Amino acid sequence: MTIMKSQDKLVPSLKFSHVGLFARDMDTQANFYTSVLGFTETDRGNLQVKGGVARLVFLSRDPDEHHQIVLVSGRPPEDHFNVINQISLKADSLEALQELYRQLKAKNVDELVAVTHGNAVSLYCRDPEGNRLELYVDTPWYVSQPCRVEAPIDLPTNELLAWVERHARALPGFKPREQWRAEMAIRMGRGT
């Protein structure tokens, strides 16, 4: 775990990873990103959310990243709606993510929840102005997306990873991340 010192306290490191955008017309948006900007659609599906079902399209130009952009249905026709679905920051280890969870919990941040996506373990919360943040680490596995199940983040690290793996192995599309990466590299025209 990499630790940075910030204002006399230790903070696990994070790096920017991907962005989620609300969309009015999912197919037009997905077509723009794939045909104009060269992204590859890595997954597509529906997810049960508060108030109904959201359609999601995952896009990437990097076989090491499941998605760099995720399009999410639900953007209303009004112009005042914020299209940012979430800001995602990648931690460098599961231990760092667990430490961030403890710090966020101690600060009583809004809507703090730990989940597994099968291919990642994530923390979701809100910043002071209500913007959704995702802090996460990848797992060594891939499963079909979208997938979101609450995870027991307080378990010891090795037990949490074993729990996530057992869960992932039972999901559709399960395979090692390296196999998924090789398949995406071919689809993206970037070799094997």
Cα 32 from Cα 75, distance rounded (Å)? 17
pLDDT for 192 equals 62
Count, residues in the chain: 192
pLDDT in tens, 52-93: 999 999 999 899 999 999 999 988 888 787 788 898 989 989
Q: Which domains does the chain have, with CATH numbers?
A: 16-187 (3.10.180.10)
More confident residue, 127 or 8: 127
Question: CA nearest 168: which of 192, 133, 138?
Answer: 138
pLDDT for 5 equals 57
DSSP letters spanning 65-132: -S-SEEEEE---SSTTS--EEEEEEEES-HHHHHHHHHHHHHTT-TT-EEEE-SSEEEEEEE-TTS-E
Q: Quick one: tokens of 101?
A: 């969870």
pLDDT for 3 equals 62
Cβ neighbors of 167 (< 8 A, separation 6 or more) are 116, 118, 149
